[in-house]
Amino acid sequence: DTGVSQNPRHKITKRGQNVTFRCDPISEHNRLYWYRQTLGQGPEFLTYFQNEAQLEKSRLLSDRFSAERPKGSFSTLEIQRTEQGDSAMYLCASSEKEMGGVSAGQETQYFGPGTRLLVL
Amino acid sequence: LAKTTQPISMDSYEGQEVNITCSHNNIATNDYITWYQQFPSQGPRFIIQGYKTKVTNEVASLFIPADRKSSTLSLPRVSLSDTAVYYCLVGIRYGQNFVFGPGTRLSVLP
């Protein structure tokens, strides 16, 4: 399977602990996204990388959250000092930059299975 | 960024055709319309994308009227496995304008 993979699939932690999630995108994709999804809601954008450069961060991404994509391949999302409100599904997606510019909406994102975080 | 409105939920029976309509009154000239499907405990999956008129693939059809202020996702002969949440996205650019609303929760009954 050459799709987007995420590890771990599930994580239970105690409040105040740090957690780190990993995303491996589709190999030829240079864009990588992180989203958070809570029950009954659609995914909410957190941040996005073009190769190794982190180009956008949502205001949802507090200073306890940090994401890296050191070599433009896999990415990690770390949450420090977790809070119960951080409990959610964390989704990663990747896409390939369209050549010659992108009209609004032509990009297709491919999502991983997500990491479900429960903070006790 | 075009705001979208779609029904919160729909019920259908196996074998029926399901049509989910999304309203996007302030769609911009260059905006595309994209639909995603999400099963429980999985990430969203791209279904179909279009700009105008009709687009069809092996999974669904997308109908877009001339004024492009709405679009309809059509799923032919649904099965139980089509039970999922369906999201309509409009005017997506990469980055934080990739906005998912609450979607339409489709329940297919036997």
Determine the average pLDDT of the residues in B21-38.
Answer: 90
Q: Please tell me which of the candidates B43, B89, B99 has its beta carbon nearest to residue A113.
A: B43
Q: pLDDT digit string (tens) for A27-59? A: 989 889 999 999 888 998 899 898 999 988 887
A93 close to B (CB below 8 A): yes
Determine the average pLDDT of the residues in B26-32.
Answer: 85
Chain B's closest residue to A110, CA to CA, is B45
Contact B87 A33 (CB under 8 A): no
Determine the average pLDDT of the residues in A10-20.
Answer: 98
- Cα–Cα distance for residue pair B4/B71, rounded to 1 Å: 10
pLDDT of residue B54: 94
pLDDT of residue B94: 58
- Cα–Cα distance for residue pair B93/B86, rounded to 1 Å: 19
Contacts of A103 in chain B (CB under 8 A): 30, 32
Q: Please tell me which of the candidates A89, A103, A116 has its beta carbon nearest to residue B30.
A: A103
- Cα–Cα distance for residue pair B60/B75, rounded to 1 Å: 5
pLDDT of residue A100: 45
Determine the average pLDDT of the residues in A58-76.
Answer: 90
pLDDT of residue A115: 97
Nearest-CA distance B99 → chain A (Å)? 7
Question: Residue B89 — very low, low, confident or very high, per pLDDT cuts 50/70/90?
Answer: confident
Determine the average pLDDT of the residues in B48-55.
Answer: 91
Taking one residue from A and the other from B, the number of pairs with CB-CB distance under 8 angstroms is: 77
Higher confidence at residue A1 or residue A4?
A: A4
